[in-house]
């Protein structure tokens, strides 16, 4: 077991008292006043009008696709360089994912290849854009394309709560957007997610489906197949106190990114994840690439050296077009994501990471060069 994790939960005395207050109130169910408060908080923070708290980000994406009418035989565009949960819900609905490569400026979906996919594919029902590692994709170009081709856009902002693009919050730019509060994300409810939108009808429909599609009558009437996807009110209590700490967390994670960047600036072959001019990231994880031709070491050796010292470091997400489960899916491009996966890694970046521990990580990375 590592001593220093990539992104562990950061729990304070305020979280203890917030959860304890929920227990005292006896609202121990997937309904209650803390859910409403947490939903308004996240809607406010993401610049959206409506929100529904769910038991995971994956459930949020599933419902987003469902309320947009995605079904069997449809196609949905998704970036290749992301976590599998960005694509799995497409398959839950019997639809087909079409993968699009990254561009090197932000590591997110390449608008040029997105245009190719929109031009060539028939029956695209939605586009999912991911703001990887807390930095927004090139949204101006992506939004323009989705408007031009009249395809709804879903933002997978699971990793990007608190980030923004040209001053617009992550989560405010798509038809629907979602956040994750899994244990490793910038704020956590242990497990949890939130679907947000300016469209009240879509959020109401998602909330209805998330609560077993129960009609508002006493005798259990059902006209649709529902899900049990709502967040517990107890966990919403944790979400409220975590959200109140978001700005501090972004500042700490940013300080990690900057300290790592300065400490590695003299190491040849090391390139930090680029930050684009338009993006104001939340610095969820510090990522970098190591070019073995220049560095005299490689990503795997650095991860192994950190592992020997009890420090968790991980490769960049393995692209979905390379995953066995998606081997028959179509993909536009792929070389950029493949190169990032081959040479890229993430370093411990948690908001509870101490400076002493960060210095140890830096010393071990440097010792590999
Ligand atoms: C964490 C994550 C998800 C899934 O969120 P869960 O709450 O774990 O279901 C989806 N997309 C991305 C990019 C993620 O990092």
In order of 98, 137, 168, 268, the CA distances from 317 in angstroms are 17, 16, 26, 23
C-alpha span between 119 and 133 (Å, rounded):
29
Give tens-digit pLDDT for 234-283.
999 999 999 999 999 999 999 999 999 999 999 999 999 999 999 999 99
Q: Is 369 exposed, middle or buried (0-12, 13-18, 19+ CB in 10 A)?
A: middle
Across 305-317, average pLDDT: 98
* pTM for this model (two decimals): 0.98
Check residue 1 and give its pLDDT: 86
* CB 174 near ligand 1, within 6 Å: no
Give tens-digit pLDDT for 190-229.
999 999 999 999 999 999 999 999 999 999 999 999 999 9
Give tens-digit pLDDT for 128-141.
999 999 999 999 99
Q: How far is the CA of 333 from the centre of ligand 1 (A)?
A: 23
Across 106-127, average pLDDT: 97
Right CATH for 13-244 from 3.40.640.10, 3.20.20.220, 3.40.50.2300, 3.40.50.720: 3.40.640.10
Q: Whose CA is nearest to atom 14 of ligand 1?
A: 158
C-alpha span between 317 and 304 (Å, rounded):
17
Give tens-digit pLDDT for 273-303.
999 999 999 999 999 999 999 999 999 999 9
C-alpha span between 274 and 271 (Å, rounded):
8
Give Cβ neighbours of residue 228 (< 8 Å, ≥ 6 apart): 55, 210, 211, 212
Whole-number CA gyration radius for the chain = 21
246-367, CATH topology level: 3.90.1150
Annotated domain spans of the chain: 13-244, 246-367
* CB 7 near ligand 1, within 6 Å: no
Compute the C-alpha angle 325/331/335, nearest 5°: 105
The answer to whether the Cα torsion of 352, 354, 357, 362 is positive or negative is: positive
C-alpha span between 74 and 64 (Å, rounded):
14
Atom of ligand 1 nearest to the CA of 193: 7
């Amino acid at each position: 077991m590592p001593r220093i994790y990539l992104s562990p939960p950061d729990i304070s005395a305020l979280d203890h008292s917030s959860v304890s207050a929920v227990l005292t109130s006896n609202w121990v169910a997937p309904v209650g006043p803390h859910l409403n408060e947490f939903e308004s908080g996240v809607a406010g923070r993401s610049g959206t009008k409506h929100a529904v708290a769910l038991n995971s980000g994956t459930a949020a994406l599933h419902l987003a696709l469902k309320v947009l009418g995605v079904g069997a035989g449809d196609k949905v565009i998704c970036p290749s360089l992301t976590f599998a949960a960005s694509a799995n819900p497409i398959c839950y609905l019997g639809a087909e994912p079409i993968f699009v490569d990254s561009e090197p400026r932000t590591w997110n979906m390449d608008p040029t290849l997105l245009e190719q996919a929109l031009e060539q594919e028939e029956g695209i029902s939605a586009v999912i854009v991911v703001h990887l590692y807390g930095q927004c994709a090139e949204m101006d170009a992506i939004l323009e394309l989705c408007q031009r081709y009249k395809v709804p856009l879903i933002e997978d902002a699971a990793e990007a709560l608190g980030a923004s693009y040209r001053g617009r919050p992550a989560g405010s730019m798509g038809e629907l957007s979602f956040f994750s509060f899994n244990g490793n994300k910038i704020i956590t409810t242990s497990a949890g997610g939130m679907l947000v939108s300016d469209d009240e009808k879509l959020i109401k429909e998602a909330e209805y489906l998330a609560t077993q599609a129960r009609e508002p009558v006493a005798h259990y009437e059902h006209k649709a197949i529902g899900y049990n996807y709502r967040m517990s009110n107890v966990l919403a209590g944790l979400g409220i106190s975590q959200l109140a700490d978001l700005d501090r967390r972004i500042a700490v994670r940013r300080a990690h990114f900057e300290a790592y960047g300065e400490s590695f600036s003299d190491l040849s072959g090391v390139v930090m994840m680029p930050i684009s001019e338009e993006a104001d990231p939340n610095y969820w994880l510090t990522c970098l690439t190591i070019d073995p031709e220049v560095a005299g070491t490689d990503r795997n050796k650095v991860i192994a050296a950190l592992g020997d010292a009890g420090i968790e470091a991980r490769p960049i997400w393995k692209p979905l077009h390379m995953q066995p489960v998606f081997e028959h899916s179509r993909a536009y491009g792929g070389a950029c994501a493949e190169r990032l996966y081959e040479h890229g890694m993430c370093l411990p970046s948690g908001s509870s990471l101490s400076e002493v521990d960060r210095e140890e990580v830096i010393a071990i990375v440097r010792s590999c060069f």
